[in-house]
Amino acid sequence: MEGKLAEITLLFQKFKAAYGKNDVDTSDNILSQLKVKLTELPGLPPLFKSSPTAVQELLLARDIFEHAVVLSVKMEDQDAFERHFLQLKSYYTDTRGLIPPSEQEYPILGLNLLRLLVQNRIAEFHTELELLPYAAHDHICIKHAFELEQSFMEGAYNRVLSARQAVPHETYVYFMDLLAKTVRDEIAGCSEKAYDSLSLADAKKILMFASDRDLQAYVLDDHPDWEIRGTRVYFQKAKELAPCKEIPSLQLINQTLGYARELERIV
């Protein structure tokens, strides 16, 4: 068993060398080999067989899956993230008392909360949050995800967008950018319904873009039905395309009066 452990350790060193150079293709290829090799270690979940090398096996496997989670972020692969996180999660929940806690545990748990928020899986977000120890809620990474969810639910989109500048861990940037796009799309939808047009300065401020070029790229890529003329952004095209729904006011008044008369008879 020590021979297999040494072989996996050597392969993991090659993975980390490629990972450190941001060679994601080589890293991903080696990771596939590592996951196959890990199935040969009996000390890992779900077997947890006792052996002189069981602790080393658990520590090595946890380290590998932690790197796998972060690699999936670098590759912008949310499906791979979910698979690797689910494999890693048992090393956080089922091995307490067997191996020392990992310094990467709360950053990765917070990263998973952020992923669930980006995917609008709010029920799962709160389930995962409830499963954490109460003390974990004060950790900066967990607190960051929780406060983001609160701001998003309250419609405080400016707080969500500004949080992009104060991420607690570099791996959070990918999901924060996705969340920022979701928020901008929400703001854009409200803006085109509330205004006929906005000045470039106001539109840039509302959508929290740093430059006119960023705003123009957003309009071109995501809202071709908008139009930039001079120093203003016009939404008329969007309004012309949207179906107009008139409220049948007279019918509504008659129905309301009818309900009132019926209620008066009952009373």
Do 65 and 88 contact (CB within 8 A), yes or no?
yes
- pTM of the full predicted structure? 0.78
**267 vs 258, 259, 261, 264, CA distance in Å?**
14, 12, 10, 5
Q: What is the mean pLDDT of residues 236-254?
A: 57
Q: How far apart are CA 32 and CA 68, in angstroms?
A: 10
Buried b (16+ CB within 10 A) or exposed e, 16-29: eebbeeeebeebbe
Options 2.60.40.10, 3.20.20.240, 1.25.40.990, 3.40.50.150; which CATH number does 103-194 get? 1.25.40.990
What are the tens digits of pLDDT across the range 14-28?
Answer: 999 999 999 999 999
- Mean predicted lDDT score pLDDT of the chain: 88
Three-state SS for 266? helix
- What is the rounded CA–CA span in Å between residue 94 and residue 182? 35
Domain range summary for the chain, segments of one domain joined by +: 1-99, 103-194, 196-244
Q: Is 67 exposed, middle or buried (0-12, 13-18, 19+ CB in 10 A)?
A: buried
- Three-class DSSP labels, 37-51: HHCCCCCCCCCCCCC
Tokens describing residue 171: 């791996």
Whole-number pLDDT of residue 264 = 62
Determine if residue 94 is left, alpha or beta; phi over 0 gives left, psi from -120 to 50 gives alpha, anything else beta: alpha
Identity of the amino acid at 160: V
Residue from 120, 116, 113, 186 nearest 156 by CA: 186
pLDDT at residue 251 is higher than 70: no
Segment among 125-134, 148-157, 161-170, 232-241 with least mean pLDDT: 232-241
